[in-house]
Amino acid sequence: MADAKVIPFDEDGRRRRATEGAQGAGRASGRGRDRDAGTGGAQAARAAAPVPEQARAPVEAAEADAADEPAPGGGWEAKAARGLAFLRRRVTGDYEVDDFGYDAELTDQVLMSVLRPVYESYFRVEVKGIENIPSDGAALVVANHSGTLPLDGLMLQVAVHDHHPADRRLRLLAADLVFMLPLVNELARKAGHTLACAEDAQRLLSSGEVVGVMPEGFKGLGKPFAERYKLQRFGRGGFVSTALRTGAPIVPCSIVGAEEIYPMLGNSRTMARLLGLPYFPVTATFPWLGPLGAVPLPTKWTIQFGEPIPTDGYAPEAADDPMLMFNLTDQVRETIQHTLYKLLVQRRSVFF
């Protein structure tokens, strides 16, 4: 299988496309951009003057690709044709990834299609305040973390992908463990996730991306059911420092419903040490029912995005002020906690 093209970042962190060697042949490579104009120009040139055989071959190949490209439509024939075209691009390496390994086409057409039924039909997620994420430019979405397995991060990604009016994409910061697991590592990179470190977060924000972070980490993800919806410590405020350095607004996000998908009754520390995991959950169904116990409960979810907290009004040296970072971190945490309580009061049932 051919390698994908990599879209590098320049020194300012802004994405730039790799320049194709031959401009005309590059535009006619099968991506569908300006194909009609390129093909029409090639036909006019051949009608006006003889074209050498070696120059005619790339143009004719581009015309053949244009004829094979499926037209948009909802019929099964059109869908099958688009699927075949997608597979052809995969095999030939005719797709792009950025420096972090993000594969936008694979995410949009495959990964989101797999997650969407879980989002819409199983957890029946309701989204509020999605317009609080800016239509352009950088933003840092800060959310609570829970549920034993990090399904809340995936549902948050679908919420932004499917509901934002400006078609924004969420780039999640993930723990080291995610990138140590076979297959999970590759899928996470393809979906746009990257390591939860200040350097990667700053590069993404500097390039105008929407970045998602869950500062509770494993402390929130693996907390017992008795402590549900009680936020854990938000680390040392590193996400606030990154937002201050890039001037990105902080968007608090509260997620209700994830706490109950795997009610964690205990933690087997012995098994956790043997497997090299931060915790080994014991729930009402796992490990007693084996693989069946890993099926989450079909709770009803609500994801609410709060009003953004601006950071562009601070001086550059503010990122090194510990008191400011503490105050902003506490403000974000209190905003999320207050919204969680409000959503819980409004909730009629865990499942309906």
| Cβ atoms of residues 141 and 159 within 8 Å | no
Phi, psi for residue 130 in degrees, rounded to 5:
-60, -25
| Cβ atoms of residues 239 and 142 within 8 Å | yes
Sequence-distant (6+) residues with CB within 8 A of 334 are none
Structure tokens at 270: 């012995």
The closest of 5, 1, 191, 152 to 88, measured between CA atoms, is 1
CA 157 to chain centre: 5
Distance between CA 289 and CA 8 in Å, rounded? 47
Residue-level pLDDT, tens digit, the chain, 352 residues = 555 666 655 444 444 333 333 343 333 333 333 434 344 444 443 444 444 444 444 444 444 444 444 555 567 888 788 888 888 888 888 888 999 999 999 999 999 999 999 999 999 999 999 999 999 999 999 999 999 999 999 999 999 999 999 999 999 999 999 999 999 999 999 999 999 999 999 999 999 999 999 999 999 999 999 999 999 999 777 899 999 999 999 999 999 999 999 999 999 999 999 999 999 999 988 988 888 999 999 999 999 999 999 999 998 789 999 999 999 999 999 999 999 999 999 999 999 8
Q: What is the pLDDT of residue 84?
A: 87
The closest of 333, 340, 332 to 304, measured between CA atoms, is 340
| Cβ atoms of residues 190 and 111 within 8 Å | yes
Q: What is the pLDDT of residue 5?
A: 63
Q: What is the pLDDT of residue 317?
A: 86
| Cβ atoms of residues 156 and 173 within 8 Å | no
Residue position matching structure tokens 């069946």: 292
Distance between CA 327 and CA 127 in Å, rounded? 28
| Cβ atoms of residues 86 and 92 within 8 Å | no
The CB-side HSE value for 278 (13 A sphere, CA atoms) comes to 13
> CA end-to-end span of the chain, whole Å?
46
